[in-house]
Amino acid sequence: MQTDWRDYIVSTPDVLRGKPRLNGTRIPAGLILGYLAAGKTFEEIIEEFPDLNEEQIAACLDYARELSEFEVELA
């Protein structure tokens, strides 16, 4: 499933102090990543958060993948 995380994850200073969250919710992307790291399936996460869908969960993985590729340029 190809998902662009920018379509699903937002960060605004007025909600959750700017933590990245799923658009239209107060569910932090990090929370969903924690569930995935604990071995939960997409279906189990949706059972816990019925307003979410598979695309939103996949977006959290895409977001984490992109963050892991971040490189700092040394002067």
**Within a domain: 62:** yes
Whether the Cβ atoms of residue 35 and residue 45 lie closer than 8 Å to each other: yes
pLDDT on residue 75: 73
Considering the entire predicted model, what is its pTM? 0.88
Total number of domains in the chain:
1
> Which one, of 7, 68, 61, lies nearest residue 37 by Cα?
61
Q: What are phi and psi of 21, to 5 degrees?
A: -140, 165
What pLDDT was estimated at residue 1?
59
* CATH number of 47's domain: 1.10.10.10
Tell me, yes or no, whether 73 lies in a domain. Answer: no
pLDDT tens sequence for the chain (75 residues): 567 999 999 999 999 999 999 999 999 999 999 999 999 999 999 999 999 999 999 999 999 999 998 777 887
